[in-house]
A and B are shown apart, each in its own frame.
Chain A
Amino acid sequence: TQLLEQSPQFLSIQEGENLTVYCNSSSVFSSLQWYRQEPGEGPVLLVTVVTGGEVKKLKRLTFQFGDARKDSSLHITAAQPGDTGLYLCADYNYGQNFVFGPGTRLSVLP
Protein backbone atom coordinates (compact mmCIF):
# COMPACT_ATOMS: atom_id res chain seq x y z
CA THR A 1 0.00 0.00 0.00
CA GLN A 2 1.42 3.34 -1.06
CA LEU A 3 1.99 5.85 1.75
CA LEU A 4 2.44 9.56 1.15
CA GLU A 5 4.14 11.80 3.69
CA GLN A 6 4.06 15.58 3.68
CA SER A 7 6.17 18.06 5.58
CA PRO A 8 5.90 20.26 7.41
CA GLN A 9 2.53 19.44 8.91
CA PHE A 10 1.88 23.09 9.77
CA LEU A 11 3.46 26.30 8.51
CA SER A 12 2.68 29.84 9.56
CA ILE A 13 4.46 32.69 7.79
CA GLN A 14 4.17 36.41 7.15
CA GLU A 15 2.93 37.83 3.90
CA GLY A 16 5.78 38.25 1.42
CA GLU A 17 7.88 35.36 2.66
CA ASN A 18 8.88 32.36 0.55
CA LEU A 19 8.19 28.77 1.54
CA THR A 20 8.63 25.20 0.39
CA VAL A 21 6.55 22.15 1.29
CA TYR A 22 7.41 18.57 0.51
CA CYS A 23 5.75 15.33 -0.45
CA ASN A 24 7.39 11.89 -0.32
CA SER A 25 6.05 8.53 -1.42
CA SER A 26 6.87 5.02 -0.28
CA SER A 27 6.74 3.96 -3.94
CA VAL A 28 7.13 5.54 -7.36
CA PHE A 29 4.35 7.94 -8.26
CA SER A 30 2.16 7.09 -11.21
CA SER A 31 0.97 10.66 -11.66
CA LEU A 32 1.59 13.21 -8.92
CA GLN A 33 -0.95 15.89 -8.24
CA TRP A 34 -1.01 18.88 -5.91
CA TYR A 35 -4.28 20.24 -4.56
CA ARG A 36 -5.20 23.19 -2.35
CA GLN A 37 -8.15 22.96 -0.03
CA GLU A 38 -9.73 25.90 1.73
CA PRO A 39 -11.69 25.44 4.96
CA GLY A 40 -15.15 23.98 4.36
CA GLU A 41 -14.50 23.30 0.68
CA GLY A 42 -13.32 20.43 -1.48
CA PRO A 43 -9.74 20.25 -2.80
CA VAL A 44 -8.95 22.09 -6.01
CA LEU A 45 -6.36 20.70 -8.41
CA LEU A 46 -3.29 22.92 -8.86
CA VAL A 47 -1.06 20.82 -11.09
CA THR A 48 -0.34 17.33 -12.41
CA VAL A 49 3.25 16.17 -13.01
CA VAL A 50 4.21 12.91 -14.64
CA THR A 51 7.85 13.02 -15.78
CA GLY A 52 10.76 12.68 -13.35
CA GLY A 53 12.67 15.95 -12.99
CA GLU A 54 9.72 17.93 -14.33
CA VAL A 55 9.28 21.52 -13.14
CA LYS A 56 6.02 23.38 -13.56
CA LYS A 57 5.25 26.96 -12.69
CA LEU A 58 1.87 28.41 -11.90
CA LYS A 59 2.26 32.15 -11.24
CA ARG A 60 4.06 32.31 -7.86
CA LEU A 61 3.95 28.51 -7.36
CA THR A 62 6.76 26.24 -8.58
CA PHE A 63 6.28 22.49 -8.53
CA GLN A 64 9.23 20.13 -8.82
CA PHE A 65 9.09 16.38 -9.34
CA GLY A 66 12.08 14.32 -8.21
CA ASP A 67 14.15 12.46 -10.78
CA ALA A 68 13.23 9.13 -9.20
CA ARG A 69 9.55 10.12 -9.14
CA LYS A 70 9.24 9.42 -5.42
CA ASP A 71 9.24 12.97 -4.11
CA SER A 72 8.02 16.43 -4.96
CA SER A 73 8.22 19.97 -3.67
CA LEU A 74 5.98 23.00 -3.92
CA HIS A 75 7.63 26.40 -3.58
CA ILE A 76 5.61 29.58 -3.12
CA THR A 77 7.27 32.93 -3.73
CA ALA A 78 6.07 36.04 -1.92
CA ALA A 79 3.20 34.31 -0.16
CA GLN A 80 -0.12 36.10 0.14
CA PRO A 81 -3.00 35.59 2.59
CA GLY A 82 -4.98 34.09 -0.29
CA ASP A 83 -2.47 31.22 -0.36
CA THR A 84 -3.72 30.06 3.04
CA GLY A 85 -5.09 26.53 2.95
CA LEU A 86 -4.33 22.83 3.15
CA TYR A 87 -1.89 21.69 0.47
CA LEU A 88 -2.33 18.07 -0.49
CA CYS A 89 -0.28 15.84 -2.73
CA ALA A 90 -1.90 12.81 -4.33
CA ASP A 91 -1.06 9.95 -6.63
CA TYR A 92 -3.35 8.59 -9.30
CA ASN A 93 -3.05 4.81 -9.53
CA TYR A 94 -4.18 4.32 -13.10
CA GLY A 95 -7.50 2.57 -13.30
CA GLN A 96 -7.78 2.34 -9.54
CA ASN A 97 -8.06 5.24 -7.19
CA PHE A 98 -6.27 8.27 -5.80
CA VAL A 99 -4.09 8.22 -2.70
CA PHE A 100 -3.71 11.45 -0.75
CA GLY A 101 -1.10 12.63 1.68
CA PRO A 102 -2.08 14.13 5.05
CA GLY A 103 -1.41 17.66 3.84
CA THR A 104 0.50 20.75 4.92
CA ARG A 105 -1.65 23.40 6.55
CA LEU A 106 -0.36 26.83 5.51
CA SER A 107 -1.33 30.06 7.18
CA VAL A 108 -0.14 33.33 5.64
CA LEU A 109 -0.56 36.24 8.01
CA PRO A 110 -1.07 39.77 6.64
Chain B
Amino acid sequence: DTGVSQDPRHKITKRGQNVTFRCDPISEHNRLYWYRQTLGQGPEFLTYFQNEAQLEKSRLLSDRFSAERPKGSFSTLEIQRTEQGDSAMYLCASSPRNGAAYNEQFFGPGTRLTVL
Protein backbone atom coordinates (compact mmCIF):
# COMPACT_ATOMS: atom_id res chain seq x y z
CA ASP B 1 0.00 0.00 0.00
CA THR B 2 1.57 3.30 -1.10
CA GLY B 3 -1.09 5.64 0.27
CA VAL B 4 -0.88 8.08 3.17
CA SER B 5 -0.76 6.34 6.53
CA GLN B 6 -1.51 7.69 9.98
CA ASP B 7 -0.80 6.26 13.40
CA PRO B 8 -2.57 5.67 15.68
CA ARG B 9 -6.03 5.37 14.18
CA HIS B 10 -7.67 6.01 17.53
CA LYS B 11 -6.41 7.69 20.69
CA ILE B 12 -8.24 8.11 23.99
CA THR B 13 -6.59 10.31 26.56
CA LYS B 14 -7.38 12.19 29.73
CA ARG B 15 -7.59 15.94 29.83
CA GLY B 16 -4.19 17.48 30.47
CA GLN B 17 -2.17 14.71 28.87
CA ASN B 18 0.06 15.16 25.82
CA VAL B 19 -0.53 13.22 22.62
CA THR B 20 1.48 12.78 19.43
CA PHE B 21 0.25 11.62 16.04
CA ARG B 22 2.32 10.48 13.09
CA CYS B 23 1.71 10.82 9.36
CA ASP B 24 3.64 9.08 6.60
CA PRO B 25 2.90 10.72 3.24
CA ILE B 26 3.17 9.18 -0.19
CA SER B 27 6.91 8.88 -0.74
CA GLU B 28 7.33 11.22 -3.70
CA HIS B 29 5.06 13.94 -2.31
CA ASN B 30 6.86 16.99 -0.95
CA ARG B 31 3.81 18.81 0.44
CA LEU B 32 2.08 17.70 3.61
CA TYR B 33 -1.02 19.09 5.30
CA TRP B 34 -2.67 18.61 8.68
CA TYR B 35 -6.39 19.18 9.19
CA ARG B 36 -8.83 18.87 12.06
CA GLN B 37 -12.36 17.66 11.46
CA THR B 38 -15.14 17.72 14.02
CA LEU B 39 -18.35 15.77 13.69
CA GLY B 40 -20.56 17.00 10.88
CA GLN B 41 -18.04 19.51 9.59
CA GLY B 42 -15.54 19.67 6.78
CA PRO B 43 -11.80 19.50 7.44
CA GLU B 44 -10.25 22.67 8.89
CA PHE B 45 -6.71 23.52 7.82
CA LEU B 46 -4.11 23.44 10.60
CA THR B 47 -0.69 23.59 9.00
CA TYR B 48 1.27 22.93 5.82
CA PHE B 49 4.80 21.74 5.08
CA GLN B 50 6.78 21.90 1.88
CA ASN B 51 9.59 19.44 2.41
CA GLU B 52 10.79 20.13 5.97
CA ALA B 53 9.71 23.78 6.03
CA GLN B 54 6.49 24.67 7.84
CA LEU B 55 5.13 27.35 5.52
CA GLU B 56 1.76 28.16 6.98
CA LYS B 57 -0.10 27.76 10.25
CA SER B 58 -3.75 28.41 10.96
CA ARG B 59 -4.88 30.53 13.89
CA LEU B 60 -6.56 27.30 15.05
CA LEU B 61 -3.08 26.02 15.86
CA SER B 62 -2.72 27.36 19.39
CA ASP B 63 0.55 27.28 21.29
CA ARG B 64 -0.43 23.86 22.63
CA PHE B 65 -0.09 22.44 19.13
CA SER B 66 3.20 21.81 17.38
CA ALA B 67 4.01 20.03 14.15
CA GLU B 68 7.29 18.88 12.71
CA ARG B 69 8.50 17.23 9.54
CA PRO B 70 12.13 16.33 10.04
CA LYS B 71 14.02 15.61 6.84
CA GLY B 72 10.89 16.28 4.82
CA SER B 73 9.56 12.77 5.23
CA PHE B 74 7.07 11.78 7.95
CA SER B 75 5.39 14.39 10.11
CA THR B 76 4.24 14.52 13.72
CA LEU B 77 1.53 16.59 15.31
CA GLU B 78 1.74 17.03 19.08
CA ILE B 79 -0.96 18.42 21.32
CA GLN B 80 0.11 19.38 24.81
CA ARG B 81 -2.21 19.66 27.80
CA THR B 82 -5.15 18.29 25.87
CA GLU B 83 -8.61 19.76 26.40
CA GLN B 84 -11.99 18.21 25.72
CA GLY B 85 -12.40 20.62 22.81
CA ASP B 86 -9.46 18.96 21.09
CA SER B 87 -11.57 15.85 20.52
CA ALA B 88 -11.76 15.48 16.73
CA MET B 89 -10.47 13.56 13.74
CA TYR B 90 -6.98 14.69 12.77
CA LEU B 91 -6.35 14.20 9.07
CA CYS B 92 -3.10 14.27 7.15
CA ALA B 93 -2.84 14.75 3.40
CA SER B 94 0.00 14.96 0.91
CA SER B 95 0.45 16.42 -2.57
CA PRO B 96 3.14 16.02 -5.19
CA ARG B 97 5.62 18.71 -6.19
CA ASN B 98 4.37 18.88 -9.77
CA GLY B 99 2.59 16.97 -12.46
CA ALA B 100 -1.05 16.39 -13.19
CA ALA B 101 -1.87 15.82 -9.52
CA TYR B 102 -0.17 19.03 -8.33
CA ASN B 103 -3.39 20.54 -6.97
CA GLU B 104 -4.77 17.30 -5.58
CA GLN B 105 -4.59 16.03 -2.05
CA PHE B 106 -4.38 12.43 -0.97
CA PHE B 107 -5.70 11.89 2.52
CA GLY B 108 -4.80 9.37 5.16
CA PRO B 109 -7.46 7.56 7.20
CA GLY B 110 -7.13 10.00 10.10
CA THR B 111 -6.51 9.71 13.83
CA ARG B 112 -9.60 10.02 15.98
CA LEU B 113 -8.78 11.69 19.29
CA THR B 114 -11.11 11.49 22.27
CA VAL B 115 -10.23 13.58 25.32
CA LEU B 116 -12.04 12.49 28.48
Interchain CA distance A31-B95 in the complex, whole Å:
15
Q: Please determine whether A101 and B42 come into contact, CB atoms closer than 8 angstroms.
A: yes
Q: Do A103 and B91 have beta carbons less than 8 Å apart?
A: no
> For chain B, which range describes its interface: under 10, 10 to 19, 20 to 34, or 35 or more residues?
20 to 34
Taken together as a complex, chains A and B put the C-alpha atoms of A42 and B91 apart, in Å, by: 7
Cβ–Cβ contact B4 & A45, under 8 A: no
CB-CB < 8 A to B48: which residues of A? 96-97
Complex-state Cα separation, A44 to B110, whole angstroms: 12
- Is B63 part of the binding interface, using a Cβ–Cβ cutoff of 8 Å? no
Q: Which residues of A (37-79) have their CB < 8 Å from a CB of B? A: 40-45, 48
A98, B104: Cα distance in complex, Å:
10
Give every chain B residue within 8 A of A85 (Cβ-Cβ): none
The answer, among A41, A94, A97, A105, for a CB contact under 8 Å with B110, is A41
Q: Is B45 an interface residue (CB 8 A)?
A: yes
